[in-house]
Chain A
Amino acid sequence: MDTVDHTEFAELLAVYSLDALPPDEVSVLESHLADCPRCRGELESLRDVAALLGNSGVSAPQGTWDRIASELGLPPADQPVPVLAFQSRRRPPVWRNAAIAVAAVVIVVLGLLSYRVVNLDNRVGQLQASLGEQGVGQLVNQAIENPASRDVQLTAKTSSARAHVVVLPDGTAYWVDDDFATLPAGRTYQLWALASGKVVSLGVLGPDPHDVPFRVEPTMTLLMVTAEPAGGTPVPTTSVVAQGAVSV
Chain B
Amino acid sequence: MNRDLANASDVTLAMAIARWDQEALAEVYRRNAGPVFGLARRVLADAAVAEEVVQEVFLRLWHEPGRYDPERGSLRTFLLSQVHSRSVDMLRSDTARRQREVRDARSTASGQYDVEHEFLDIAVAEGVRDAMGVLQPGERSAIELAYFGGHTYREVASILGEPEGTIKSRIRSGMRRMQSSLAAKGLAVGKMQPAEENP
Contacts and interface: CB of A to CB of B under 8 A. Distances in A.
Contact of B168 (A15, A111, A121): A15
Contact of B34 (A60, A114, A199): A60
B77 A93 contact: no
Interface stretch (A136-144, A167-175, A239-247): A239-247
Given A117-B108, A221-B137, A60 B54 contact: yes
B192 A94 contact: yes
A166 B75 CA distance: 46
A119 interface: yes
Interface string B79-100: 0110011001000000000000
| Residue from the set A48, A59, A236 with the largest chain B CB neighbour count within 10 Å | A48
Contact of B154 (A22, A67, A72): A22
Contacts of B119: 107, 109
B197 interface: yes
A196 B35 CA distance: 17
Contact of B132 (A19, A87, A113): A113
Contact of A82 (B18, B106, B128, B140): B18
A104 B105 contact: no
Given A20-B153, A103-B74, A222 B141 contact: yes
Contact of A200 (B34, B104, B168): B104
B111 A47 contact: no
Counting contact residues on chain B (CB < 8 A from A), the size range is 35 or more
Contacts of A245: 137
A18 B152 CA distance: 9
Interface string A104-130: 111111111111111111000000000
Interface in A57-111: 57-61, 64-65, 67-69, 71-72, 75, 81-87, 91-99, 101-111
A146 interface: no
Interface stretch (A6-14, A179-187, A208-216): A6-14
B179 A106 contact: no
B14 A84 contact: yes
A60 to B, nearest CB: 4
B144 A197 contact: yes
Interface string B150-187: 11111010011110000011011011101100100011
A196 B182 CA distance: 20
Given A49-B182, A60-B54, A239-B161, 13 more contacts: A19-B150, A47-B81, A51-B80, A52-B187, A60-B36, A84-B14, A99-B9, A102-B74, A109-B119, A196-B42, A196-B111, A198-B104, A221-B140
